[in-house]
Chain A
């Protein structure tokens, strides 16, 4: 049986075919009709897009001149005179603020921003979270000519942007607002660059690097808390024998190793540490640097670090320390609040257990860490550069105050006595009491101004911690330093 298949189209099909043929032969009107629709849609979409663009303008062109009161909220003597001006429209000046607006510091930024609304109400800032990327993003912004109005700048970044004329010189603003009078003596040097100008206003004090240690773990295993290098070596051996990691070092980041080496050098009575090499003084052929490298190598040999140290992040190291798997943790003093929260009264700090036994008293208050010119800087190409400069300067002061209030920062840069909301924990109190004795500071790795030196010392020091011989380390660093100084 065969199935009949219609040869001719059905009436309906005929009609459809006829209609198609009709359209093809007649062509234009129908085609135009169909074409008009996409064109109409396109025209409509363009109109909508244009109108949205107009609505979304940021009113930068409509900004009033920045003339608001500039008196800071601090009530210390010598505060800048307040200027009465006609009331500007609140939030009429929009500024982009690139900063470490994350983690524990978020409430500090928010509180400072709120406080600034009463001082400079015409300014509204939008925070952009700084990437943790060796400052690549901010440098890319600078290269593209689109630096945020205000941004956090380390010493190295200041040098780079200064050289490429991207930084606004804040001398006039600093003088006009009398910022220096608001800072305590140890913080005043942080306001000025070595060339005599001010490019940023400091927002946080000079933190030292410290060894956090678990008092209970030392007592439990009958290990003496070290006060010098020899005792530290003994402690390392003792903990290693008991299968406890002596030091939780987050060596995946490069700066903790550099800090520890710096402590080893400072502990041999060279208060300039590794920083003086960055300043152009001395070189690695000096005995003190070889000795520092030898101390580190000996400690590594004795089992200072866990096998996984080079894949350990800061969070991993803190977790090891908290859980009692590690007896000590090396970090900046800014971490006191977090570590006390983890360990409570088991926590204590020591400043430099790598000091030579015969020099321990002499170097007791020569600190590693801190000591760098950094803070909130302003882009020279900001459309509201004067307002941004004033805002940055005053925000820095507010930020420093809120750090004390919100985070119980024991390291205030301000003359004004600010009381933390929750008081200081015992460790913070100890640091605050001791900090008046600090005689000198070196710097953390990110404070080195010579980028080539910074990169090479970070990489090569990691190799030293991975087991490189001290003599090879000195040879590599000598070559790297020579190259960095060209």
Chain B
């Protein structure tokens, strides 16, 4: 009993500093955001309580619905590109017969170490409508599909999301690759002996055993997509108009451009709730049962 008690005390002592730090840096500001969302406040003067008016206004604001849609698109692109492609690449890199695995592993991680601004500027040049890489390639091959990638109403958010997905692919790749390396070799040996083809082997063994890792990767990808801001700020400044807004950008616009901190807090509160809901859903429906062979 005493040793259990002292164990718990030791646990508390070691985790308390981090918990306190987390509470001050994360929890308290979130609670303040929720609180301020019920006020009309310009960030400087005394706030005045207006109840749910900010939330009612959000529902009637075109920027809000565009932001919501763009956030979901961004998250979708991250999930498909980073987790989907990340899995394929991780499987390939874990194959011993592939030459230059170390080189490829390093190469895929290089974009991660670049700063967001550098990546955004790079992709601005690629997407340039007047001679960027993509339109130049179309022109070279005689394909009449040159687009204003970053200013087109239907192309802008996809183009920006793709650049964001490319930037951080390496992180998801490393997570998935590490998880694959922790799968016992004997399972693959047994499958090989049983005559399982390559892709079936990975479909039946690797993917199911990665479910816990996928849970984590999904949370990162989806919340990262919903929170996207840097890419659109540098590449398009949210424009033209509001076509590349996300909720984070909307929050920035409301608070820092319009001086409506209460309204911006309401947008932030919705964003927090959205991330929370997705995290709960992922934890509930992904990897519900621990798989082992």
Contact = CB atoms under 8 A, between A and B. Distances in A.
A binds B: yes
Interface of A: 133-134, 136, 139, 142-143, 160-161, 163-164, 166, 251-254, 306-311, 451-452, 454-455, 459-460, 462-463, 465-466, 468, 476
Candidate in B44, B127, B153, B239 with the most chain A CB atoms within 10 angstroms: B239
B150 interface: yes
Given A308-B130, A452-B258, A452-B260, A161 B253 contact: no
A161 B44 contact: yes
A309 B243 CA distance: 15
B4 to A, nearest CB: 30
A148 to B, nearest CB: 16
B43 to A, nearest CB: 6
Nearest to A139: B43
Given A251-B240, A452-B258, A310 B44 contact: no
20 contacts: A136-B256, A139-B259, A143-B43, A163-B44, A164-B44, A251-B240, A306-B129, A307-B129, A307-B146, A310-B239, A311-B124, A311-B151, A451-B257, A451-B260, A452-B259, A462-B240, A463-B243, A466-B151, A466-B153, A476-B62
B51 interface: no
B261 to A, nearest CB: 9
Given A308-B128, A463-B240, A468-B241, A455 B151 contact: no
B160 to A, nearest CB: 11
A465 B153 CA distance: 12
A136 B128 CA distance: 29
B235 interface: yes
Contacts of B236: 252, 310-311
Nearest to B241: A463
B148 interface: yes
Candidate in B235, B237, B241, B256 with the most chain A CB atoms within 10 angstroms: B241
Contact of B241 (A142, A160, A307, A459): A459
Contacts of A142: 44
Q: How large is the interface on B (under 10, 10 to 19, 20 to 34, 35 or more residues)?
A: 20 to 34
B42 interface: yes
A246 to B, nearest CB: 14
A310 B150 contact: yes
B283 interface: no
B241 A311 contact: no
Contacts of B153: 466
Contact of B129 (A134, A308, A462): A308
A452 B127 CA distance: 32
Candidate in A166, A311, A454, A462 with the most chain B CB atoms within 10 angstroms: A311
Contacts of A452: 258-260
Contacts of A134: 256-257
B45 A163 contact: yes
Interface of B: 42-45, 62, 124, 127-130, 146, 148, 150-151, 153, 235-243, 253, 256-260
A310 B253 contact: no
B283 to A, nearest CB: 36
Given A163-B44, A307-B148, A309-B151, A460 B241 contact: yes
Contact of A254 (B44, B239, B256): B239
B269 to A, nearest CB: 20
B241 A455 contact: no
A306 B45 contact: no
A310 to B, nearest CB: 4
Contacts of A166: 44
A459 B191 CA distance: 59
Given A163-B45, A308-B148, A309-B151, A466 B256 contact: no
A253 B150 CA distance: 14
Candidate in A254, A310, A465 with the most chain B CB atoms within 10 angstroms: A310
B241 A139 contact: no
A95 B239 CA distance: 39
A310 B257 contact: no
A451 B129 contact: no
Contacts of B148: 307-308, 310
B240 A160 contact: no
Given A139-B256, A143-B44, A164-B42, A252 B130 contact: no
A136 B43 CA distance: 11
Nearest to A137: B256
Contacts of A164: 42, 44-45
Contacts of B241: 459-460, 462-463, 466, 468
A406 B44 CA distance: 38
Those 3 A-B pairs whose CB atoms lie nearest each other, nearest first? A463-B241, A164-B44, A307-B129
A459 B238 CA distance: 9
Contacts of A454: 257-258
B239 A160 contact: no
A69 to B, nearest CB: 36
Contacts of A459: 238-239, 241-242, 253
